[in-house]
Amino acid sequence: MVKACALQLRFENKEKYIEDINKYLRDIKADILVLPPLSGLLFSSTAEYLTFHLELSKQKDFVLVPGSFIEDGYHKAVIMQRGRILHTQCQTHLSGQDERDGLKRGDELEICPTAVGNVGILVGNDCFHPQCGRILGLQGADILVGLYAVEGGYNRWLQLSGIWQQVQQNQFFAVECAVNGRIRDKIYAGRSIIHNPIWEGSNGILCEMGEDEEGVLAAVLDFDRRNEIKSVYPLYKYLNRKLYKKEWGY
């Protein structure tokens, strides 16, 4: 069993962010914690942002995914544990707005073995591209971290068309943390959600937090139930590899 948490905050500025981190994480018990995306933009530099979170990570035992940041034209996220960066992931697909903002696409999508299992990250727009979940799932991802950063008013259906469906067609867990509030004149809205592949008595959502709320969202990831689903209905076994090869050459 793994206790997964996401911290949802309403962004205003760096000072409030640090206050919130101290307030909500003081007594937290978690195996993996995901912080809201784009938090890097609240800091004056990537170095300052990473240093702050590495210090935080040193004080705790959990696997930490501290949101995301922009560096060298890439939208990136990292996995940390005990003050060390274990893995870096760049966003691999760009929206029209991302392109206008001058972002570049990453060309790698890897899982990272951690104490809580194999973890992969979908940064920003990647959650809407099913190839991403498939690539991570086929590599053996147990937990997907989704960093949901969508501008404008909240649309639940838009969000469900992202990570939720990636979980259902790949049978991993996902901890999705959403950015809310204002960053650099853009307003974001989303819900933090912890997902599971649908099993008896579950709709694929272990817990979620309204877009206007702040706090820690927590759920226990039951790997036995997930493994049972995978063994009863092994979705990957029925992939039509011959067809894909014929159509795409891979």
Partner 1 sequence: MGLLDFAAKMFLSYKFNPKPLKRHISGLKVKKYNREPGLKVAAVQVEFRLHKSTIEYFEHMRHLMERAAEEGARLIAFPENIHLPLYGLLPGIEKKFSGDGRKDDDGEKMRAALMLLGPYVKGIYFLTFSSLARLYEMYVMGGSITAPENGELYNTAYLFGPDGKLIGSQKKLHATPEEESFGLKTGEELDVFKLPFAKVAFPVCMDATYFETFEIARMKGADIVIIPIANMEEYDFYRALRGIWPRVQESRVYGIKSALVGRVAKFYFTGKAGIYAPLDLTENRDGVVKEAKHYQGDDVVTASIDIGALRKYREEDELLKDRNEELYRKYLSRLY
- All residues at 6 or more sequence positions from 16 whose CB lies less than 8 Å from its CB, including other chains: 9
Strand-pair category, 205-209 with 192-195: antiparallel
160 is a contact residue toward partner 1 (CB under 8 A): yes
| 227 is an interface residue for partner 1 by CB under 8 A | no
Asked whether position 248 contacts partner 1 by CB under 8 A, the answer is: yes
Task: Return the sign of the alpha-carbon dihedral for residues 43, 45, 46, 49.
Answer: negative
Among 115, 165, 214, 216, binds partner 1 (CB under 8 A): 165
User: Which tokens go with 159?
Assistant: 């969000």
Print the binding letters for residues 56-95 with partner 1: x by CB under 8 A, - otherwise: ------------------------------------xxxx
Residue 108 near partner 1 by CB under 8 A: yes
Burial of 99 from C-beta contacts in 10 A (0-12 / 13-18 / 19+): exposed
Q: In degrees rounded to 5, what are phi and psi of residue 51?
A: -60, -45
| Binding status of residue 109 toward partner 1 by CB under 8 A | yes
DSSP state of 36: P
- As measured in angstroms, the least distance from the Cβ of 133 to partner 1 is 9
Residues in touch with partner 1 (CB under 8 A): 92-97, 99, 105, 107-109, 125, 128-131, 134-135, 138-139, 155, 157-158, 160-161, 164-165, 168-169, 198, 203-205, 232-235, 238-250
